[in-house]
Structure 1
Amino acid sequence: MSGNVVQDTNALGGGILVANRFNSTPLTGEFTLADNTTIRAGAVDPNWRFGVGALWFDARDSAISGATIRVTGFTAIDSPYEVFQFIDGNGAGKQVNGVTIDGATVDGAGTFVVQAQTGGSVAISNVTATDVGAAGTYNCGGLQISGSGNSGWDSRWEGCGWP
């Protein structure tokens, strides 16, 4: 998936969704998301009472573990809530693994650069952020985040209170 612009998303949804949801066949194989842009993408979900990300990874039905997902050249502009979200959707502890984000620009985030509400392991590198509304990372699920070359946000911050 490459070269897309997602703008002004509606309530209950993020900008771009990569997920094991809606009784789908679990993700397997290799996926590349390259040079995509979101503008004012992401919205508050009144049922969950928190924001949904501009780029949203959701393991609601099953863990994301059988796929390699590479994100490069991603740009998020004026996200009302978090930019990158990792969640299992129903609080059952399903993990997100195999995601690599390498090279992204965040120009405005209402809450966080990364919001993690699940476990697993991802790599996030070379993300430059400006105008972030809160601390850079909200990690209540214990997601292991590795990477380097990030600037403008604190990738070490963790907490478990809702934003």
Structure 2
Amino acid sequence: MADTVNAAAGIAVSTRFGVPFTGTTTVARNTLTRTGSREPNWPAELGALWVYADVHPIDAPIVIRDLTIQDSTYAGVLLSWQKSIQQVSFDRVGITGSGTYGLEIHATGRATFASTTVSGSGTAPLLNDMGYTLDRQNGNTGF
């Protein structure tokens, strides 16, 4: 995916339309280049990868692996909204050159990170303003 222009993430995992997650959701083997954009109606800045717990908490497993994020307009990864986000695992994720944060987290919950790298973020490698728990395993750098 490349060059999202308006009101879109490169990939979104969301409960926006009222259906709770069951089973495992996997996001694997993707490259996001210059994705993430501004949603002018809210207004909000969306990440290249956006996990959005809107109507329901996200408490079923989400596996994010073998993902390359390059030159995102805003955050490389954005986890957000009103409900908790649990059981997320990041493995072999590379975030390079984000416009704002490599990882921007406005949620409660927990995620596991292994072999995840963040470099060249415009603002900072990590924003975690709600005490989200990051379980850091081997191979992480930059955040």
Same fold (TM over 0.5): yes
Residues 12-31 of structure 1 correspond to what in structure 2 (within 5 A)? 12-23=7-18, 25-31=19-25
Q: Displaced runs of 4+ in structure 1, greater than 6 A?
A: none
Partner SS state of residue 113, structure 1? strand
TM-score of the two chains, using structure 2 as the length reference:
0.92
Matched with 1:150 is 140
Q: CA shift at 1:76, angstroms?
A: 0.5
Matched with 1:71 is 64
Matched with 2:35 is 41
Matched residues in 2 for 1:128 and 1:108: separation? 11
Partner SS state of residue 61, structure 2? strand
Q: Confirm or deny that 1:8 pairs with 2:32.
A: no
Residues 112-127 of structure 1 correspond to what in structure 2 (within 5 A)? 112-127=101-116
What stretches of structure 1 of length at least 5 have no aligned partner? 1-5, 155-163
Matched with 2:75 is 82
Alignment RMSD: 1.4
Matched residues in 2 for 1:77 and 1:105: separation? 8
| Equivalent of residue 46 in structure 2, options 52, 60, 65 | 52
Shift in CA distance, 14/49, structure 1 to aligned 2, threshold 3 Å:
same
1:43-79 superposed Cα distances (whole Å, 9 cap, x missing partner): 12234444211111001001001x1111111001110
Matched with 1:159 is none
| Equivalent of residue 120 in structure 2, options 119, 128, 131 | 131
1:71-130 superposed Cα distances (whole Å, 9 cap, x missing partner): 111001110110111112xxxx41001110011112211111111111011112211233
Matched residues in 2 for 1:107 and 1:71: separation? 16
What stretches of structure 2 of length at least 5 have no aligned partner? none
Number of residue pairs matched by the alignment: 142
Matched residues in 1 for 2:101 and 2:26: separation? 23
